[in-house]
A and B are shown apart, each in its own frame.
Chain A
Amino acid sequence: MPIIINDTSLDVPADPRVTLLDFLRHHAGLTGTKKGCDHGQCGACTVLVNGMRINSCLALAIAHDGDTVTTIEGLGTPDAPSVMQQAFVDHDAMQCGYCTPGQICSATAMLQEIAAGWPSDVSTNLDGDISASAEEIRERMSGNLCRCGAYANIVSAIGEVAGRDRV
């Protein structure tokens, strides 16, 4: 079975050592997904697999045979950016931009996790509604490092999208 990446089917690589990250960057030509550490420590390689965020550097491509992968390129384009991409632009939620695709993929899935009621370390209760407060956003986005230090703007960008979604 192939891997479906942004609506395109690609055969899994012959070499079982190829990570999903390297498959995206080297085989699929989708360099929007970044390699920051290759060890699941920085979040720059975050993509959505079947709608859930994962570190693609920690996944082997062959293990995702048949899965649907959405990368930053699949979320939106310069001509038609997603709401989250536009919010990052509007809030200057980036500097060097290298962590940005991972931040945006992560944030996109993270808001769905909140909507689904998944609690986090800062949630006051384990069931019931969870609001996309700044505190929740900070905690849930802490797997995505930004060395330039754009965190404050990242939180406000995501907060804007969360607020818009609620209306």
Chain B
Amino acid sequence: MTGQFTQDAPETECLLDSMRQDVIGKPLVRIDALAKATGTATYAAEYPVKDCLEGVLVTAPFARGRITGIDIDTCLACDGVVAVIDNEKLIARCAQGTAGEAPVQEVRKVAYWGQPFALVVAETFEQARDASKHLKITIQDDDLSDIPCDPQAVEPENQQYSSQGDLPHAMTEAPHSVDAKFTTAGHASAAMEPHAAIAQWDGQTLTVHASLQMLNYNISELADAVGLEENQVRIVSRFVGGGFGSKLGISAETVAASLAAMQLKRPVRVAMSRQQVFQCVMRRSETSQRMRLAAGKDGTLQGFGHEALVSNLPDEQFAEPVLQSSEFLYAGDNRLLTLDLARVHRMTAGSVRAPGEAVGMPTLEVAMDMLAEACSIDPVELRLKNIPDRHPMKGTPFSSHKLAECLQQGAEAFGWDSGLRKPRQRREGEWWIGTGMASAARVHNIAKAKARVTLNPDGTALVESDMTDLGTGTYTILGQIAGEMLGLDPSNVLVDLGDTRLPRGPGSGGSWGAASIASAVYVACKAIREKLTKYANVTEGELNLKDGGVEGGASFAQLLGDKELREEGHYEPGDIEDDYVAAGFGAYFAEVRVNAFTGETRVNRMTGAFGFGRVLNERTARSQCQGGMVWSIGAALTEALHFDPRDGHLVNCDLAEYHVPVNRDVPELEVIMVEERDPAASPIQAKGIGELGMCGGAAAIANAIYNACGARVRDFPITPDRVVACMPD
């Protein structure tokens, strides 16, 4: 049986609010915490498979051209080598999120330095790794001077243009204005688990244990790539060691392992090296941006301009959506938003945590800080003044909007010293101390989702979907939804995820996972409840379930005898997406210290206040927010991909040279979850959390650096050399 729900209107009445189990939102310990803490959670490369061969990918050491020959004999002569897979079905790039089809497969036509083109398979990992170094190839590489690698040096394509009123005129007329250029560096997802897969082929079915975020799309991508029907493919991803966008689509190891297993009729494991993950998975595009803000005497925005240039490989559709939240965050009648895309030969640009806002919001929020100074207005006040009633261009209403509450509650918790601000007011030894703030905004995404729920007469339940849990807490919150709806302690709900044999979930990405899949579970549970009303002979409103049965009445065993109730819930976002602007909002406050001599910045403390609709689990939600704030610190201070201008290779392709925040970089992080229900966002009134925590946080740090020492750095990351260069005498 199936429960179906398409959301065409706000769901103001949500059953979760009238249930009796009282577990939704509670800070329950994540179900899988003990497995993770004891090393018993099994990740993709860790399944014990007999007679498993080991594969090592080989990648191209040049930026553009052709591989004209592969001398596999050089490799086959090495100890233990079983085969060199140079099949034309290998993929040259990873699939973009939600692609649902194979990415570019011409591996011998090289489009970026580090593109995989072959797999060396041997009995042991050591043999495969060694042999891969001996694979001889002949190449025809293009002259370096002909290869566009610098986004600034090519004629870009326009991706987005929207204009309203006359921004240049508004800039001339306005009493206060800001016109500033910014750059942000490219980022890597750098999930802790490198991409890995074990493929098994039994002549009929390809079974792949892989580390992927969106199995519902990945199965189509993999089937298409290797030339099988979807019903011949099974993908399992029960634990994923972080994704952050890098595992949205399939990448080379999954396809290579599959092709090798099919050819050799033995299981094959392929794990990318850390360097390969950096070189051939996904990067967030670097950006260059121009912000123009025009304001009246009191700081009311009259003009708003945001222009950005990003890059990607030829033939890729994705362009970092830098302007996504700039479209609606602040008012201003005269508007200009443009996004240009430069085609360059660097690895695929795609989604890295919070694509768009992660780099668009920090620049906007630094510009707002500059405007607050120009207008002599408190930065919090400036933002409060400019919250629009409706989408400034489309006129559509907001579904729910908590920016003002986030600004106010965050400021209070942080102890924001409102009023006129001047740099260089506080010094301790060689350190300048300062504070800064910024708004957060992230568009709300949601996707269709299916889940199956079974209520057993013994008072247990089973929730099933091919949905993944990347560490976000999906296993835990789905147990809470089912527990709340069916009157069960969540410890009696088994949540089975990450297997394409189960109903298709939405996948994890774009912060849409929780709201989408939990809505499907909610719909399934509603359908079960409807059946239960007949067993209990009551109406839905009278069906009070708690602790394994009717509250103060029959247990499920008494009600159902030996019959289980099973329903599939199908959730689909409907017309409502066009009727409202739905987004998560927030505010960050940071205190930093900046070394007056070296320009080093340390974050002393940081507060984030966020509104993302209903909180499903306070503990895992808080962790998500904190994680985003840590990424804000990385984007503000250290994270940058560096490409060699001579040959286009990524210079810092490991964790020693690409600097993600370490423990000592992260201070106490205060998280405030602002009470909100968003009936237009999803039937459970929840929105996404995972990305909101890094949609502007870097600006709070940048603004604090300015307040501390007077260095207004407009290039991210704000490294010590840049601080020193901008520091006033």
Q: With A15-B126, A36-B274, A94-B37 as given contacts, are A29 and B628 in contact (CB-CB < 8 Å)?
A: no
B470 — which chain A residues lie within 8 A by C-beta? 95-96
Q: Name 5 A/B residue pairs within 8 A (Cβ), A-sorted.
A: A25-B46, A35-B271, A41-B656, A42-B655, A138-B663
Q: Tally of A-B residue pairs with Cβ under 8 A? A: 187
Q: A72: shortest Cβ distance to chain B, in Å?
A: 4
Count of A interface residues, CB-CB < 8 Å: 62
Contact with B along A57-73 (1 / 0, CB 8 A): 00000000000000111
Q: With an 8 A cutoff between CB atoms, is B107 at the interface?
A: no
Q: With A36-B192, A36-B193 as given contacts, are A90 and B48 in contact (CB-CB < 8 Å)?
A: no
CA–CA, A31 to B264, complex, Å? 26
Contact with A along B224-263 (1 / 0, CB 8 A): 0000000000000001111110000000000000000000
- Which one of A111-119, A125-133, A150-158 is at the interface? A150-158
Contact across chains for A17 and B626 when beta carbons are under 8 A apart: no
Which 9 A-B residue pairings sit nearest by Cβ, starting from the closest? A32-B39, A149-B630, A97-B36, A96-B471, A98-B241, A95-B471, A149-B627, A72-B39, A31-B46
Contact across chains for A153 and B193 when beta carbons are under 8 A apart: no
Q: With an 8 A cutoff between CB atoms, is B496 at the interface?
A: no
Contact across chains for B37 and A153 when beta carbons are under 8 A apart: no
Contact across chains for B471 and A94 when beta carbons are under 8 A apart: yes
B126 — which chain A residues lie within 8 A by C-beta? 15, 17-18, 22
- Residues of A near any B CB (own CB < 8 A): 15, 17-18, 22, 25-26, 29-39, 41-42, 44, 71-73, 75-78, 81, 85-86, 88-90, 92, 94-101, 104, 134, 137-139, 141-155
Contact across chains for B273 and A89 when beta carbons are under 8 A apart: no
Q: With A26-B125, A96-B193, A97-B471 as given contacts, are A78 and B40 in contact (CB-CB < 8 Å)?
A: yes
A154 — which chain B residues lie within 8 A by C-beta? 663
Q: With A38-B274, A76-B38, A92-B620 as given contacts, are A144 and B471 in contact (CB-CB < 8 Å)?
A: no
- Which one of B27-35, B384-392, B427-435 is at the interface? B27-35
B36 — which chain A residues lie within 8 A by C-beta? 94, 97, 100
Interface residue range, chain B? 35 or more
Q: With A71-B39, A96-B471 as given contacts, are A35 and B626 in contact (CB-CB < 8 Å)?
A: no
B666 — which chain A residues lie within 8 A by C-beta? 138, 149, 151-152
Q: A152: shortest Cβ distance to chain B, in Å?
A: 5
CA–CA, A72 to B37, complex, Å? 8
Q: With A96-B470, A149-B631 as given contacts, are A31 and B660 in contact (CB-CB < 8 Å)?
A: no
Q: With an 8 A cutoff between CB atoms, is B182 at the interface?
A: no
B239 — which chain A residues lie within 8 A by C-beta? 96-97
Which chain B residue shows the least CB distance to A154?
B663
Q: With A96-B242, A97-B241 as given contacts, are A38 and B661 in contact (CB-CB < 8 Å)?
A: no
Contact across chains for B39 and A73 when beta carbons are under 8 A apart: yes
**Given A95-B471, A138-B666, list of 18 further CB < 8 A pairs?**
A22-B126, A25-B46, A29-B48, A32-B40, A34-B193, A34-B241, A36-B192, A41-B654, A42-B655, A76-B38, A92-B620, A96-B241, A97-B239, A98-B191, A100-B37, A147-B242, A148-B627, A150-B627
B45 — which chain A residues lie within 8 A by C-beta? 31, 35
A149 — which chain B residues lie within 8 A by C-beta? 626-631, 661, 666
Contact across chains for B623 and A153 when beta carbons are under 8 A apart: yes
The SS class assigned to the B binding surface is loop
Q: With A98-B242, A147-B191 as given contacts, are A138 and B46 in contact (CB-CB < 8 Å)?
A: no
CA–CA, A81 to B661, complex, Å? 29
Contact across chains for A22 and B630 when beta carbons are under 8 A apart: no
Q: B637: shortest Cβ distance to chain A, in Å?
A: 14
Q: With A96-B191, A139-B664, A150-B623 as given contacts, are A89 and B654 in contact (CB-CB < 8 Å)?
A: no
Contact across chains for A138 and B37 when beta carbons are under 8 A apart: no
Q: With an 8 A cutoff between CB atoms, is B669 at the interface?
A: yes
Contact across chains for A145 and B662 when beta carbons are under 8 A apart: yes
A101 — which chain B residues lie within 8 A by C-beta? 37, 39
**When the two chains form the complex, which single residue of A35, A38, A92, A98 contacts B623, counting CB atoms closer than 8 Å?**
A92
CA–CA, A35 to B655, complex, Å? 13
A73 — which chain B residues lie within 8 A by C-beta? 38-40
Which chain A residue shows the least CB distance to B669?
A152
B663 — which chain A residues lie within 8 A by C-beta? 137-139, 141-142, 144, 146, 151, 154-155
Contact across chains for A36 and B194 when beta carbons are under 8 A apart: yes
Q: With an 8 A cutoff between CB atoms, is B465 at the interface?
A: no
A142 — which chain B residues lie within 8 A by C-beta? 662-665
Contact across chains for A15 and B655 when beta carbons are under 8 A apart: no
CA–CA, A134 to B604, complex, Å? 13
Contact across chains for A89 and B193 when beta carbons are under 8 A apart: no
B33 — which chain A residues lie within 8 A by C-beta? 88-89, 92, 94, 97
Q: A161: shortest Cβ distance to chain B, in Å?
A: 13
**When the two chains form the complex, which single residue of B40, B192, B626 contacts A152, counting CB atoms closer than 8 Å?**
B626
Contact across chains for B626 and A42 when beta carbons are under 8 A apart: no
Contact across chains for A146 and B192 when beta carbons are under 8 A apart: yes
Contact across chains for A81 and B39 when beta carbons are under 8 A apart: no
Contact with A along B111-143 (1 / 0, CB 8 A): 000000000000011100010000000000000
Contact across chains for B34 and A78 when beta carbons are under 8 A apart: yes
CA–CA, A142 to B660, complex, Å? 11
B243 — which chain A residues lie within 8 A by C-beta? 96
Q: A134: shortest Cβ distance to chain B, in Å?
A: 8
Contact with A along B459-499 (1 / 0, CB 8 A): 00000000000111100000000000000000000000000
Chain B stretch 318-362: residues in CB contact (< 8 A) with chain A: none
Contact across chains for B194 and A35 when beta carbons are under 8 A apart: yes
CA–CA, A25 to B48, complex, Å? 10
CA–CA, A97 to B211, complex, Å? 13
Q: B584: shortest Cβ distance to chain A, in Å?
A: 17
Of the candidates B35, B46, B48, B241, the one having the most CB atoms from chain A within 10 angstroms of its own CB is: B241
Q: With an 8 A cutoff between CB atoms, is B58 at the interface?
A: no
Q: With A26-B125, A37-B655 as given contacts, are A92 and B30 in contact (CB-CB < 8 Å)?
A: yes
Which chain A residue shows the least CB distance to B622?
A92
Which chain A residue shows the least CB distance to B190?
A147
CA–CA, A141 to B666, complex, Å? 12
CA–CA, A29 to B34, complex, Å? 19
Q: With an 8 A cutoff between CB atoms, is B580 at the interface?
A: no
Contact across chains for A85 and B37 when beta carbons are under 8 A apart: yes
B630 — which chain A residues lie within 8 A by C-beta? 149, 151
Of the candidates B46, B48, B622, B663, the one having the most CB atoms from chain A within 10 angstroms of its own CB is: B663
Which chain A residue shows the least CB distance to B193?
A98
**When the two chains form the complex, which single residue of B125, B271, B471 contacts A148, counting CB atoms closer than 8 Å?**
B471
Q: With an 8 A cutoff between CB atoms, is B414 at the interface?
A: no
A90 — which chain B residues lie within 8 A by C-beta? 29
Of the candidates A31, A86, A92, A154, the one having the most CB atoms from chain B within 10 angstroms of its own CB is: A92
CA–CA, A44 to B242, complex, Å? 13
CA–CA, A139 to B124, complex, Å? 38
A151 — which chain B residues lie within 8 A by C-beta? 626, 630, 661-663, 666
CA–CA, A120 to B490, complex, Å? 43
Q: With A29-B48, A85-B37, A142-B664 as given contacts, are A97 and B626 in contact (CB-CB < 8 Å)?
A: no
CA–CA, A109 to B48, complex, Å? 29
Q: A151: shortest Cβ distance to chain B, in Å?
A: 4
Contact across chains for B191 and A31 when beta carbons are under 8 A apart: no
Which chain A residue shows the least CB distance to B243?
A96
A95 — which chain B residues lie within 8 A by C-beta? 242, 470-473, 623-624, 627
Q: With an 8 A cutoff between CB atoms, is B42 at the interface?
A: yes
Of the candidates A31, A85, A99, A144, the one having the most CB atoms from chain B within 10 angstroms of its own CB is: A31
Q: With an 8 A cutoff between CB atoms, is B716 at the interface?
A: no
Which chain A residue shows the least CB distance to B188?
A147
Contact across chains for B38 and A72 when beta carbons are under 8 A apart: yes
